[in-house]
Amino acid sequence: MIRTLRNTLPPSSFDNVVYEKNADIGGTWFENRYPGCKCDVPSHNYQFSWRKNPEWSSFFASAGEIEAYLCKLCDDEGMRTAIRTSHKILGAAWSEPKAVWELQVQN
């Protein structure tokens, strides 16, 4: 989403912020660190079409390997500046008069 917005809209037309509830990016791959945690579908399903990873170590990559791929992608694309970690969305409501989503965010 960050990449698409940056490549599509003029920079001054939006505030580009992504909220992540965890202390770092990676979603489920950051959260699940139990021994043997890995994907249950071929690894290439967890890559972006515009950033393919020909170096997956196995057909079913580990959680750590997928998380590392996501972190590297965010670093290489300069996305971390748009991501607010340790922020949990508590609610979202559409404001018709303002034509915006109003968020309740827990820092």
pLDDT over threshold 90, residue 7: no
The two three-digit tokens of residue 10, written as one number:
């003029």
102: part of which helix (H) or strand (E)?
strand 100-106
What burial letters (b/e) apply to 25-57, b meaning 16+ CB within 10 Å?
A: bbeebbeeeeeeebbeeebeebbeeeeebeebe
Q: Where are the beta strands (DSSP E) in 41-99?
A: 83-84, 88-95
Q: What are the tens digits of pLDDT across the range 24-74? A: 999 999 999 899 999 999 999 999 999 999 999 999 999 999 999 999 999
pLDDT for 23 equals: 95
pLDDT for 9 equals: 80
What is the DSSP-derived secondary structure letter of residue 62?
A: B
The domain total for the chain is 1
Average pLDDT of the chain, as a whole number: 92
The domain in which residue 47 lies consists of: 2-106
